[in-house]
Amino acid sequence: MMNPNRQPPRLLLRPIREDDLDALHGFAGASAHGLTTLPDDRSRLAARIERSLQSFASDDVSGDEAYLFVVEDLAAGRVVGVSGIEAQAGFGDRFCSFRNEFMVHRSQALDYANRIHTLHLCHDLTGVTLLTSFYIEPGYWGTLAPQLLSRARLLYIAQHPERFSDRIAAEHPGIADERGSCPFWEAVGRRFFGLDYPTVEDLAGGRSKAFIADVMPTFPIYVPLLPEAAQWAIGQLHPDAELPFSILVDEGFETDAYVDIFDGGPILLSRPMLLRTIAGRRLARVDDSREDAGANDALCLLATTGRTDFRATLAVVRASRQGVALGAETRADLGVLRHDVVCLSAYAAATLEPA
């Protein structure tokens, strides 16, 4: 069981800065085909950072905002991961996906019915808030860093709901090999667009995929007519994406309704208030007193309440009638003082992973 006196590694999530460009470029270059919306292009990444800075700073929201967060290992003094939020998917265009449906073909003369899986090109998810750009260095997969990187951005959404949709989605990459060959794309997208999967992913570069949908068939695709490899790939997850996918499923996201139009990967969807981190959050004043004998130490996700100076961490804290007791190091990391208000949400973990 978790040792209540043991603090997790010093990890801090914060908005990205201009001096994070080198780290971001390293993440983009290390990602396999389709595993991130980060383009492996330094100038485009610099533009992504600038767009994020403007999004955090803007007082007026349009829906075109895109926010990038990084996680720092404070002990090592470096950035080890990135994640993002698109305020409205497909802003100014369409967000295209395939919707899974089943059609029943029936013959009364033969007394026979057949239920057939079909894919319908749709814009159902246009305007949803989209979780994007998740990447964590492999050396940190077994730590709390990916948990902080994924879940803390949900607290940002919850604290600034006017900036986001009442639905949240997350695309996850489907099956592709090391060369970038993707069975679903080869069977469907390439038939209508004529480019290989890595090329079309690079063209998208994290933008709307509506340019692909423009040349895709608008009528249903009958899945049994596809090659077996493509049929099997629908809704399947790339092995390297299992970690971020599992975190969001644990949060309460649901799958099965929609898949990506490029690689057939699963798209998760939920309402914000149905997610564990958001549903369990509360505000509390910072208090350095630990005198409440009835209180229990617990591992919590902690976040500041500001918009531009948002910070989040995972720490063992003690909640009491006076508020939440934070150690001096945690207060310094978050940049909060006694009596400041923080947002906290319990993180239900049986053990603390090793640093």
pLDDT tens-digit map of 304-349: 999 999 999 999 888 776 689 888 899 999 999 989 999 999 886 4
Same domain, 299 and 212: no
Residues 254, 222 within the same domain: yes
Region of 204 (left: φ > 0; alpha: ψ -120 to 50; beta: rest) is alpha
Widest pairwise Cα distance in the chain: 80
Query: Is it the case that residue 49 has pLDDT exceeding 60?
Result: yes
Q: Could you tell me how many helices (H) and strands (E) the chain has, helices first? A: 11, 15
Domain span at residue 332 reads 281-346
Lowest average pLDDT, out of 39-53, 66-80, 99-113, 156-170, goes to 99-113
pLDDT in tens, 223-262: 999 999 999 999 999 998 999 999 999 999 998 899 998 8
Domain membership flag for residue 351: no
Residue 338's CATH number: 2.40.40.20
- 109 and 232 in a single domain? The answer is yes
Which residues lie below 8 Å from residue 172, measured CB to CB, with a gap of 6+? 237, 238, 241, 244, 245, 260, 265, 266, 267, 268
303 in a domain, yes or no? yes
Picking from 279, 299, 322, the residue at the C-terminal end of a domain is 279
Parallel, antiparallel or unpaired: strands 168-171 and 129-136: parallel
Percent of the chain with pLDDT over 90: 63
Whether residues 257 and 291 share a domain: the answer is no
* Domain-terminating residue out of 279, 304, 330: 279
pLDDT over threshold 80, residue 183: yes
Q: How many domains does the chain have?
A: 2
Report yes or no on 35 lying in a domain: no
Q: Catalogue the active-site residues.
A: 238
Q: How many alpha carbons fall within 13 Å on the CB side of residue 177?
A: 6
Which residues, including other chains, have CB under 8 Å from residue 38's CB and lie 6 or more apart? 24, 27, 28, 31, 45, 48, 82, 133, 135, 206
What confidence category does residue 355 fall into, taking pLDDT thresholds of 50, 70 and 90? very low
CA dist 109 and 112 (Å) reads 8
pTM (two decimals): 0.88
pLDDT tens per residue, range 11-35: 999 999 999 999 999 998 886 555 5
1 contacts 58 by C-beta, under 8 angstroms: no
Q: Which residues contact 16 (CB under 8 A, 6 or more apart)?
A: 24, 49, 52, 53, 68, 69, 70, 82
Check whether residue 105 and residue 185 sit in a common domain: yes
Give the integer Cα–Cα distance in Å for 277 and 35: 24
Q: Indicate whether 350 pLDDT > 50.
A: no
Q: Are 73 and 10 in contact (CB under 8 A)?
A: yes
Q: How many residues does the chain have?
A: 355
| Same domain as 189, residue 299 | no
Does residue 185 share a domain with residue 295?
no
Last residue of a domain, one of 279, 312, 333: 279
Tell me whether residue 146 is in a domain: no
